[in-house]
Amino acid sequence: MLIKKYVDKLPIPKILKPDCIIDGMPYYEARMQQFKQILHRDIPATVVWGFEGVYPGPTIETNNYQSIKVKWINHLPSKHLLPVDTTVHGAGPGQPRVRTVIHLHGAVVRPESDGYPDAWFTRDYKQVGPHFTTKVYTYPNRQRAATLWYHAHAIGITRLNVYAGLAGIYIIRDPMQKHLNLPKRRYEIPLLIQDRSFNEDGSLYYPSQPDPPVPGVNPSVLPDFFGDTILVNGKVWPYLELEPRKYRFRIINGSNSRFYKMKLSSKSNFYQIGTDGGLFEKPVVTKEIMLAPAERADVIIDFSGLRGQNVLLTNNAPAPFPQGNLPDPGTAGQIMQFRVCLPLSKQDYSTIPYRLSTITYLKEKKAIIQRNLTLSTKPDIYGRSIHLLENKTWDDPITTKPQLGNIEIWNILNLTRASHPIHLHLVNFQILGRQPFDTEYYEETGKVLATGNTAPPDLNEMGWKDTVKANPGEITRIIARFAPYTGLYPWHCHILEHEDHEMMRPFEVVF
């Protein structure tokens, strides 16, 4: 199917309104439902999953230090929209096909509100998972202002639930940042980027088997999945009409497997002002922004010199990253179009401040412990390759138990051929650097032999992060303080096909 680009306006998700205030906390309800939505002018309406009748779900906005409560309600049908592989962990034949639990990615929350993968529930809570905690989640928002996103996280079917549409944006604001005078209101726009494929009838296409198929398993999880169509905020290749002035975009990569290396066709700069965990100290001026699944970039683009022009946001990240093929410039190589066609409604007084925020860098010598944690692959009993963390599966006993309040360094040793976006729940971390090492020597001896110098993080990784690209053959070193809560949390690869197929482990913060 040939899909015409830039015929639909970029939708801006509506802001979810609280139902009431309970104990001083706004209380929200968000119903997960199945419905039809038009994702492109020429594609027949698509059956999707979303929240409160929309995909992506409505945006939740709050100030920091304002706690809120959210009840995520499962009103989904009992039949899954997409092919469920019953051979992967937690999705066995005895389990209900449609299970959900929602995780707020980037949030510092108690374990019972974190959306643990085994804390899933079915419609009307008829069945709940082995770690089910509570129906109403509390988000304290005691953290830096940042762009977060919420998404489905049930064990073994996260890739399918997110692909079906269960994701939305969550913005924590800090009233103290008003003086920065960044572009705001209609000049501040979230962009949730996702790739999808479609069948002729408009339904979502997600293969039931890899190519070539795995004998004896159907449907089967895939090693990864790349759609040939790019959606932003739920529209296929949308356009956005703009005034010739500065805009702030909060960009989220909400794709299952696809990395994006973004550029502007006008060769203009991005002024990147923040990342996963909020604002940088200073803006980073760059022509290219790379986002792995779940990473975010807060950017300002100045369209003032581009009056009358159409500017494309393009992508040239190989898929899989970095060893795969470049995207087709006619399809996945394009994301959206900016049309600088509106008159300037009033003078643009917004600024790109030289000083954005203060970041306290964690000191290496304050780290109590360094852990070497491997990323590796091995075949499963069907001969498919599974990815492992710590050379262990999700259900193996917990071996990573940081003590509450301690600073730890995690050396992530990537023994595989692909880059994996590694995400930790509960904490934000800082990237110390990346260093090449001898993977064969490590496999033989279990010892780390560095083969080159440590490269510092990229300029636009020098802030608080919750997801980091761990490249093949490299030690990616991160530092974090494990606080303020004790309990069980997952860490995992955010390529959802990997996460569902063992590339996820629990860690437990202990007292």
Give the span between the Cα atoms of 244 and 187, in whole angstroms.
Answer: 11
* Closest CB 387 distance from ligand C2O, rounded Å: 15
- The nearer residue to ligand C2O, 387 or 492, going by C-beta atoms, is 492
**E strands present in 38-135:** 46-51, 57-63, 68-74, 102-105
Determine contact, residues 275/296, Cβ cutoff 8 Å.
yes
* Closest CB 208 distance from ligand C2O, rounded Å: 24
Give the span between the Cα atoms of 289 and 300, in whole angstroms.
Answer: 12
For residue 162, give the H/E element and its range: helix 158-164
Query: Which of 137, 76, 69, 127 lies closest to 102 in space, CA to CA?
Result: 137
Q: What string marks each residue from 370 to 409 as x (binds ligand C2O by CB under 6 A) or -? A: ----------------------------------------
Residue 153 interacting partner from Cu ion, ligand C2O, none (CB closer than 5 to 8 Å by kind): ligand C2O
* Closest CB 282 distance from ligand C2O, rounded Å: 27
- For position 490 contacting ligand C2O by CB under 6 A, the verdict is yes
Query: Which of 165, 170, 209 lies closest to 497 in space, CA to CA?
Result: 209
Residue 493 interacting partner from Cu ion, ligand C2O, none (CB closer than 5 to 8 Å by kind): Cu ion
For residue 24, give the H/E element and its range: none
- For position 80 contacting ligand C2O by CB under 6 A, the verdict is no
- For position 103 contacting ligand C2O by CB under 6 A, the verdict is yes
Give the span between the Cα atoms of 480 and 506, in whole angstroms.
Answer: 16
* Closest CB 387 distance from Cu ion, rounded Å: 5
* Closest CB 392 distance from ligand C2O, rounded Å: 17
Non-local CB neighbours of 321 within 8 Å, separated by 6+ positions? 259, 292, 418, 419
* Residue type present at position 440: E
Q: Give first-to-last CA distance, the chain, whole Å.
A: 56
* Residue type present at position 256: N
Site for ligand C2O in 289-308 (CB under 6 A): 294
- The nearer residue to ligand C2O, 5 or 501, going by C-beta atoms, is 501
Non-local CB neighbours of 154 within 8 Å, separated by 6+ positions? 90, 99, 100, 101, 117, 120, 129, 161
For residue 413, give the H/E element and its range: strand 407-414
Give the span between the Cα atoms of 421 and 467, in whole angstroms.
Answer: 6
Site for ligand C2O in 139-178 (CB under 6 A): 151, 153
- The nearer residue to ligand C2O, 10 or 169, going by C-beta atoms, is 169
Q: C-alpha angle with apex 101: 380 to 221, nearest 5 degrees?
A: 25
Determine contact, residues 205/198, Cβ cutoff 8 Å.
yes
Residue 490 interacting partner from Cu ion, ligand C2O, none (CB closer than 5 to 8 Å by kind): ligand C2O
- Find the part of the chain contacting ligand C2O (CB under 6 A) among 312-320, 379-387, 456-464, 486-494: 486-494
- Find the part of the chain contacting ligand C2O (CB under 6 A) among 182-190, 251-259, 377-385, 489-497: 489-497
- The nearer residue to ligand C2O, 423 or 465, going by C-beta atoms, is 423
- Collapsing DSSP to helix, strand or coil, 498 comes out as helix
Determine contact, residues 7/42, Cβ cutoff 8 Å.
yes
- Find the part of the chain contacting ligand C2O (CB under 6 A) among 202-210, 255-263, 403-411, 487-495: 487-495
User: Binding-site residue total for ligand C2O (CB under 6 A)?
Assistant: 10
Member of 40, 69, 99, 105 binding ligand C2O (CB under 6 A): 105
- For position 505 contacting ligand C2O by CB under 6 A, the verdict is no
Member of 5, 144, 235, 425 binding ligand C2O (CB under 6 A): 425
Residue 420 interacting partner from ligand C2O, Cu ion, none (CB closer than 5 to 8 Å by kind): Cu ion
Member of 492, 498, 501, 505 binding ligand C2O (CB under 6 A): 492
Member of 423, 434, 481, 505 binding ligand C2O (CB under 6 A): 423
- The nearer residue to ligand C2O, 72 or 442, going by C-beta atoms, is 72
Record the tokens describing residue 29, joined without a space.
Answer: 């309800």
Residues that bind Cu ion (CB under 5 A): 105, 420, 425, 493, 495, 498, 503
**E strands present in 7-111:** 20-22, 25-37, 46-51, 57-63, 68-74, 102-105
Residue 498 interacting partner from ligand C2O, Cu ion, none (CB closer than 5 to 8 Å by kind): Cu ion
- For position 420 contacting ligand C2O by CB under 6 A, the verdict is no
* Residue type present at position 93: P
Length, in residues, of the chain: 511
By CB under 6 A, name the binding residues for ligand C2O.
103, 105, 151, 153, 294, 423, 425, 490, 492, 494
